Structure 1
């Protein structure tokens, strides 16, 4: 078979890939030979950045890598932003691209789509970027990618294949199988020390990040045994379930949670970067930990970042939690629920002037679509949802306000999530500014007949930046942008649309949403918030 055929067979038969996102080009035509009938669904976005965001949403909704087929040069620079977001949030993504012929690489001859070094350009937004120089090496390189996805901190992997190799003959493997990868287990001595510190603590605190999403029951049992208030970051929403009495949510930047953190004598942080966009969204470096910090992460380097660590364990969060549970057969009462309740009462999030207008929005969504996956762009309702929303299980809430913080993520990522989970409703939370970055992907949603709800918060421009300018005494320039008529645009794409101003009209719109295509619900922000 050819190298391109081998790639398709490996993806489907060894790694179970069922969906590929990509835009065909003259450099990748041979890659598409044999895709029909392969058992893999091909989804055509309208821009390579959309392909990357779709793969990201697919991966976050399932835990399985999203796969993209991308052309040489501009295709790769287009997808680089999406790879940067996936890298920042540790999302598994496999990007397969073409590159110019082997005998022309690095010569600068001005060939179609040529970059001085495509591999080096993409290395900065990937866990690794590899140029395939011999087709027989393809199984090994793919295995390396899955070793990253399954055995260490995941993220995007880029494999580029020179166009003269796609139709090169290669001997297929005698056995079609993929390796079984097990992540690192914690050192027993470290677990013993961590358990002793946690047992002796008077005021323990737990910090759970996105690295814990595959082990919600274990995480819930552990924090209950420790009787410890727990911060669940944006990417860890749902790990403890709906409104758990120990869950403080993603509110580590707020004063009451910061005070609790400063007062904690032992802190257990698992699968979390302890990064700015989770713990310091007010950007003043005010999240301080004075107690002993026990840190567990699959990435050894991460143990030394952001906060001084007292005990570091390189390990998978799930394996570490299971090991710690063995040391806590019973609950060690420390008044954790009361401490957490006091913090929540002090926060009074639903009464906060900044958040209160969004309370009926998310109450309505929760009532009408209780099982929905909420996928957000960087927009006002998403910033509020980071504090207000509680989900029943993980992988039901994610957005681009963390890490890389790119605009344009919400619509295509929600599309990817809907493809991955057709059994669940999916809501894209977008703003009138951000949706313009990837508006063309509405065509993809219509083409794929996806019952996606696109909730568009229309506040007439870049509201968050307006506030920053006002707060810093900067004239409002470039933020009061003109918006198109979204109803007319939706009609042009063949997408149904409606406008709502209040919870009652939102309920009616959700109740009558189509099941064979997307629905754009435009929310007039000024009318919703009121005087």
Structure 2
């Protein structure tokens, strides 16, 4: 007899899942039946939040959904923060959890790990939350989840299986596939957008995280329109060193000036959120009168007034717009406008922030093509403001959107396992690192060759600065950091501490040569 727990593993394999992140418990034992005999690799984090962040990093680096197995109750609530980050950044994540036996649900009888309404809680964060009550419901539930990932704005999906349902017979279950596709761009709307573009004399393009798989189409359209391309945080790495690229936040006055002088803005795959467009909270971002949006999400398109709103996948929408232009090209001084915005944006950074940006660029230049996974720390803030990465999809962090601290280390582990041939760097601060420090053990156990770069300024320096700026005497912003090198060595990870940033290039080269997890701590005055 094949149980539903065993069938789950076979069905996941059929959907191309090769890795799951999870911590087994008494409520998920039956989900693990057959896992050891499958081709799926199981990675054990040290906390369920780490499982979610690893799944997130795996998804961003691989382009495939990240999958997490967690227990009911505390296991799932621990994963909720990671799901919030995935929802904010449109990351495909499948969370499969247990739940108590069917006849106990909602009765408040005090069972282990009991929640009043687990699905109700998850429905507030997940794109969907579904309970499997019968064995034959599982193939359809998985098909629906993977169809959503493929055809709509992705995010976290939750499936729960009661402990009594995990063990029911499930012989003969076959996988289902929905063959879903993103909505095709509306030809009439594309024609309107093309007409606006053909008349523009100073167009500009905004590229968000939704364009990460559409670099070639984005480049062709930008060159046809001679339009500067402002890259949000999640689009960094696209158009590296291209004369039309503006890898700088539209929160900068210089970038906003370029936008205000434009007669057309085209936004592709971006939610226009304030953590990209209004980092300083001054409500100073203004769009030109003619505004075209291309986005896969109809709800997202309805949130801002537009001249033309096209629901489509970024690549399909860009290709359609380019085709509608029928070979027309503009001369709009795009390179000059982009260069002026880039130069002026960098000049807006404070000397301290420029020094932090130098550290990020040192990592890029020493380790070309690396994936840099960030946490909420000062060099990452600087990079999000103004930084040109050299690998599409190779710069991501949790310092925008939901803003979960402790994201970097586990997400970097997930990325390293997704793309084992890539050099993966985790750039984290001493405060954020302590949120997920035990995941060093998971890196060693899984042979995730992450280079952990710890920016140690002995506290939450950014928060301390924010307090001082508004006249609040700093409290609670100086958590004493441990000896990170000793902790790393206790896990069997080589480590070194730098007293000056000048030693970073050589340390990075030693770390890459080690071909194993490695820790570099930078002491910051």
Give the Cα–Cα distance (whole angstroms) in 1 for the partners of residues 357 and 148 of structure 2.
40
Give the Cα–Cα distance (whole angstroms) in 1 for the partners of residues 505 and 209 of structure 2.
31
1:397 to 395, 398, 401: 395
Q: Deviation digits for residues 64-103 of structure 1, max 9, x if unmatched? A: 0000000010001100000000000000000000000111
Displacement after TM superposition at 1:477 (Å): 0.4
Cα–Cα, structure 1 residues 198 and 433, in superposed 2: closer, same or farther, change >3 Å?
same
Q: Deviation digits for residues 430-477 of structure 1, max 9, x if unmatched? A: 000001111110111111222210000000100110111010000110
* Contact 2:252-2:348 at 8 Å conserved across structures: no
SS in 2 for 1:221: helix
Q: Deviation digits for residues 332-391 of structure 1, max 9, x if unmatched? A: 111111111122232234974243212432332122210110000010010111134322
Give the Cα–Cα distance (whole angstroms) in 2 for the partners of residues 396 and 129 of structure 1.
30
Give the Cα–Cα distance (whole angstroms) in 2 for the partners of residues 416 and 272 of structure 1.
24
1:478 aligns with 2:476: yes
SS in 1 for 2:270: coil
Match of 1:437 in 2: 435
Give the Cα–Cα distance (whole angstroms) in 1 for the partners of residues 218 and 403 of structure 2.
27
Give the Cα–Cα distance (whole angstroms) in 2 for the partners of residues 399 and 252 of structure 1.
18
Cα–Cα, structure 1 residues 90 and 455, in superposed 2: closer, same or farther, change >3 Å?
same
Match of 2:464 in 1: 466
Match of 2:518 in 1: 519
Match of 1:312 in 2: 309
Give the Cα–Cα distance (whole angstroms) in 1 for the partners of residues 42 and 10 of structure 2.
15
Greater shift after overlay, 122-131 or 384-393? 384-393
Displacement after TM superposition at 1:504 (Å): 3.9
Match of 2:192 in 1: 193
Cα–Cα, structure 1 residues 310 and 264, in superposed 2: closer, same or farther, change >3 Å?
same
Displacement after TM superposition at 1:181 (Å): 2.3
Match of 2:254 in 1: 256
Greater shift after overlay, 86-95 or 249-258? 249-258
SS in 1 for 2:238: coil
Aligned length in residues: 522
Cα–Cα, structure 1 residues 76 and 107, in superposed 2: closer, same or farther, change >3 Å?
same
Unaligned runs of 5+ in 1: 527-531
Match of 1:501 in 2: 499
Cα–Cα, structure 1 residues 482 and 91, in superposed 2: closer, same or farther, change >3 Å?
same
Cα–Cα, structure 1 residues 359 and 250, in superposed 2: closer, same or farther, change >3 Å?
closer
Give the Cα–Cα distance (whole angstroms) in 2 for the partners of residues 345 and 507 of structure 1.
25
Give the Cα–Cα distance (whole angstroms) in 2 for the partners of residues 330 and 189 of structure 1.
18
Show structure 1 runs of 4+ deviating over 4 A.
349-352
SS in 2 for 1:238: strand
Give the Cα–Cα distance (whole angstroms) in 2 for the partners of residues 186 and 427 of structure 1.
38
Q: Deviation digits for residues 83-125 of structure 1, max 9, x if unmatched? A: 0000000000000000001111100000010000111111111
Match of 2:385 in 1: 387
Cα–Cα, structure 1 residues 350 and 523, in superposed 2: closer, same or farther, change >3 Å?
farther
SS in 2 for 1:205: strand
Give the Cα–Cα distance (whole angstroms) in 2 for the partners of residues 351 and 262 of structure 1.
21
With normalisation by structure 1, the TM-score equals 0.96
Give the Cα–Cα distance (whole angstroms) in 2 for the partners of residues 263 and 77 of structure 1.
47
Q: Deviation digits for residues 382-424 of structure 1, max 9, x if unmatched? A: 0111134322332101000111001000000000000001100
Greater shift after overlay, 98-107 or 483-492? 483-492
Cα–Cα, structure 1 residues 351 and 136, in superposed 2: closer, same or farther, change >3 Å?
closer
Give the Cα–Cα distance (whole angstroms) in 1 for the partners of residues 443 and 488 of structure 2.
11
Match of 2:407 in 1: 409
With normalisation by structure 2, the TM-score equals 0.97
Displacement after TM superposition at 1:135 (Å): 1.3
Match of 2:127 in 1: 127
Match of 2:213 in 1: 214
* Contact 1:350-1:359 at 8 Å conserved across structures: no
Match of 1:236 in 2: 235
Give the Cα–Cα distance (whole angstroms) in 2 for the partners of residues 459 and 281 of structure 1.
22
Q: Deviation digits for residues 191-246 of structure 1, max 9, x if unmatched? A: 00000001101111111111111111111111111111111111011222x22111
Computed over aligned residues only, the root mean square deviation of the Cα atoms, in angstroms, reads 1.4
* Contact 1:251-1:279 at 8 Å conserved across structures: yes
2:321 to 324, 343, 366: 324
Cα–Cα, structure 1 residues 297 and 268, in superposed 2: closer, same or farther, change >3 Å?
same
Give the Cα–Cα distance (whole angstroms) in 1 for the partners of residues 333 and 475 of structure 2.
51
Q: Deviation digits for residues 462-509 of structure 1, max 9, x if unmatched? A: 011011101000011000221111122112222111011334421221
Match of 1:274 in 2: 272
* Contact 2:370-2:391 at 8 Å conserved across structures: no
Match of 1:346 in 2: 344
* Contact 1:349-1:388 at 8 Å conserved across structures: no
Give the Cα–Cα distance (whole angstroms) in 1 for the partners of residues 480 and 285 of structure 2.
38
**1:64-213 alignment runs, 5 A limit:** 64-173=64-173, 176=175, 178-213=177-212
Displacement after TM superposition at 1:184 (Å): 0.6
Greater shift after overlay, 147-156 or 347-356? 347-356
Give the Cα–Cα distance (whole angstroms) in 2 for the partners of residues 119 and 262 of structure 1.
45
* Contact 1:349-1:387 at 8 Å conserved across structures: no
Displacement after TM superposition at 1:525 (Å): 1.1
Give the Cα–Cα distance (whole angstroms) in 2 for the partners of residues 442 and 252 of structure 1.
36
Greater shift after overlay, 219-228 or 505-514? 505-514
Unaligned runs of 5+ in 2: none
